[in-house]
Amino acid sequence: MSRILLIVLLLMATAGAIVTYGDPDQIARARDNISQIFDRNDSDVSAAPAPAVQITRSQGGEFAFRAKINGVVAPMVIDTGATSVVLTWETAKAIGLPTEMLEYNVDLETAGGHTKAARLTLDRLAVGKLVEKSVPALVVQRGQMKTNLLGMSFLDRLESWGVRADKLMLNGYPELSASTHRRPHTAVD
């Protein structure tokens, strides 16, 4: 916002100088100065390549993979019919979530039938190079599911996702960063 305000002020000052002096050389220098400001600002901001992940369909027909949930590796399956990421109780316990403090008050229909789940927010969920923070999720009661589901609470955050033949492509958004303030981009398994 302050950058836009600065540019508007520079344009107003230039316009004022043009009206006041009407000197063609001054006008040309002002135009060149403004062009340099815009060119420099455009080159300072660049887009890092968008992270993408490709998952191959398993022989069972699922798109199964290993994710990192709060830094801990856990098996998952893509489920576009699940409105949320859903974790098994066993995975929640393994990644250090306070399973004894969870309140199982959400009705949930699974492939195995009706069950109850608890709401929580995952600090960090990584699928390859795609990393999302503060991801809403559910945890089912002990023994109610066999696998973790990557549902729409993660998939909706992506720029796009789709299936071609036996490959599922997950595409994140490119990160915009200033060249002088670039953060290192690290891959996540």
Q: Which residues of 49-71 are buried (b: 16+ CB within 10 A; e: fewer)?
A: eebbbebeeeeeeebbbebbbee
Tokens standing for 122? 């995952």
Choose between 25 and 97: higher pLDDT: 97
Question: Which CATH superfamily does the domain covering 52-181 fall into?
Answer: Acid Proteases (2.40.70.10)
Does residue 54 surpass a pLDDT of 60?
Answer: yes
Q: Specify the range with the lowest mean pLDDT, choosing from 31-45, 50-64, 126-140.
A: 31-45
For residues 144-163, give the mean pLDDT. 95
Q: In this structure, are residues 140 and 110 in contact, taking their beta carbons and an 8 Å threshold?
A: yes
Choose between 106 and 179: higher pLDDT: 106
Beta strand segments in the chain, E: 45-47, 52-56, 64-69, 72-78, 85-87, 106-110, 113-127, 130-140, 148-150, 160-164, 167-171, 176-178
Output the pLDDT for position 175. 76
Tokens standing for 136? 């809403």
Q: What percent of the chain has pLDDT over 70?
A: 68
Output the pLDDT for position 104. 93
Output the pLDDT for position 188. 44
For residues 128-143, give the mean pLDDT. 95
What's the mean pLDDT when you consider all of the chain? Answer: 81
* Residues sharing a CB contact under 8 Å with residue 65, sequence separation 6 or more, in sequence order: 55, 75, 76, 78, 127, 128
Does residue 140 surpass a pLDDT of 80?
Answer: yes
**In angstroms, rounded to a whole number, what is the distance separating the alpha carbons of residues 7 and 28?**
18
Domain ranges for the chain, please list them. 2-46, 52-181
Output the pLDDT for position 121. 95
Q: What is the pairing mode between strands 130-140 and 64-69?
A: unpaired
Please write the tens of the pLDDT for every residue from 16-52: 555 555 566 666 666 676 666 655 555 555 667 889 9
Tokens standing for 12? 């107003």
Q: Specify the range with the lowest mean pLDDT, choosing from 85-94, 118-127, 174-183.
A: 174-183
